[in-house]
Amino acid sequence: MSRLQSRFAELKQQNRAALVTFVTAGDPNYDASLAILKGLPAAGADVIELGMPFTDPMADGPAIQLANIRALAAKQNLAKTLQMVREFREGEQDTPLVLMGYFNPIHKYGVERFISEAKESGVDGLIVVDLPPEHNVDLCDPAQAAGLDFIRLTTPTTDDARLPKVLNGSSGFVYYVSVAGVTGAGAATLEHVEQAVARLRRHTELPISIGFGIRTPEHAATIARLADGVVVGSALIDQIAHAEDSEQAVQGVLSLCRDLADGVRNARL
């Protein structure tokens, strides 16, 4: 059983949703970012998404764009991101970690080399925003063959006709992007999320995590009643953007993470 499978199974038994947190690797710098990463499990993150910085994050809103810029300015690259995962894994064996980003840095690094190093460093899965199922051969197929989960984004525009194509080859969990828009954009209505989850359940057994526009513990709790996972990214990253120094950035992210975890853990009580 993969770490993602075990984690979602375990939480299902506890009758609660997963808190899935997103931060960008190397934001605001390598050391602070590693401190955040290492602190997240204790702060209540059940699954960690770690962004691989890219100069042109086309599907991201202003918060994550700036995170990418900060990380790149601090000289983050893919090799360092993998190193960060290795250091994280030294003390943490249970929390699944998923790398998320865009294809070009992986393409440049070399797909084979990337897959083997990701696997070796303790990465559990990949989310690559600009690789739809039409391009499974580029990365999804070889990554899954090597035992990495490939998590797909489904969106409000993914209709019933297309869903099987998107879900086929998905593993780990399904990430439902609840609004058509960039990351950090306005939130979907509850009714929309309810219907979307019901529709996805008809097509897949995989756990369903909901993201985009979730910022507060209250909002996270509401979503946690409907879905198997709640993804929070931009709100955490704003803590880094507004921090005066690295220490404040680390504390800001972990403190919000604890609040969000309380929201998610108490949602179904």
Partner 1 sequence: MTSLCSGPDANGLFGSFGGQYVAETLMPLIHDLAAEYEKAKLDPEFAKELAYFQRDYVGRPSPLYFAERLTEHCGGAKIYLKREELNHTGAHKINNCIGQILLARRMGKKRIIAETGAGMHGVATATVAARFGLDCVIYMGTTDIERQQANVFRMKLLGATVIPVVAGTGTLKDAMNEALRDWVTNVDSTFYLIGTVAGPHPYPAMVRDFQAVIGKETREQMQTQEGRLPDSLVACIGGGSNAMGLFHPFLDDKDVQIVGVEAAGYGIDTGKHAASLNGGVPGVLHGNRTFLLQDDDGQIIDAHSISAGLDYPGIGPEHAWLYDIGRVEYTSVTDQEALDAFHKCCRLEGIIPALESAHALAEVFKRAPTLPKEHLMVVNLSGRGDKDMQTVMHHMGELENQA
Q: Which residues form the interface with partner 1 (CB under 8 A)? A: 53-61, 65, 72, 77-78, 102-109, 129-132, 134-135, 152-159, 162, 166, 177, 180-182, 185
Residue 106, phi then psi, degrees to nearest 5: -70, -45
Based on the residue annotation, tell me whether 60 is a catalytic residue of this protein. Answer: yes
Sheet holding 208-211, edge to edge: 149-150, 125-128, 97-101, 47-51, 18-24, 229-232, 208-211, 174-177, 152-154
Give the nearer residue to partner 1 in terms of CB position, either 14 or 157.
157
Say how many C-beta atoms besides its own lie within 10 A of residue 239's C-beta.
20
| Residue 135 CB contacts under 8 Å (≥ 6 apart), including other chains | none
Smallest CA-to-CA distance from 174 within 217, 127, 239, 113 is with 127
Q: From the CB of 170, what's the least distance to partner 1, in Å?
A: 11
Q: From the CB of 153, what's the least distance to partner 1, in Å?
A: 5
Q: From the CB of 58, what's the least distance to partner 1, in Å?
A: 5
Q: What angle do CA 190, 129, 116 make, to 5 degrees?
A: 130
Query: 97 with 48: CB under 8 angstroms?
Result: yes
Based on the residue annotation, tell me whether 92 is a catalytic residue of this protein. Answer: no
Catalytic residue among 60, 117, 228, 238: 60
Give the nearer residue to partner 1 in terms of CB position, either 92 or 130.
130
3-state secondary structure 153-172: EECCCCCCCCHHHHHCCCCC
Catalytic residue among 27, 49, 117, 124: 49
Give the nearer residue to partner 1 in terms of CB position, either 152 or 265.
152
Helix (H) or strand (E) holding 51: strand 47-51
Give the nearer residue to partner 1 in terms of CB position, either 110 or 147.
110
Give the nearer residue to partner 1 in terms of CB position, either 77 or 251.
77
DSSP 234: H
Q: From the CB of 260, what's the least distance to partner 1, in Å?
A: 25
Query: 269 with 255: CB under 8 angstroms?
Result: no
Q: From the CB of 226, what's the least distance to partner 1, in Å?
A: 21
Active site amino acids:
49, 60
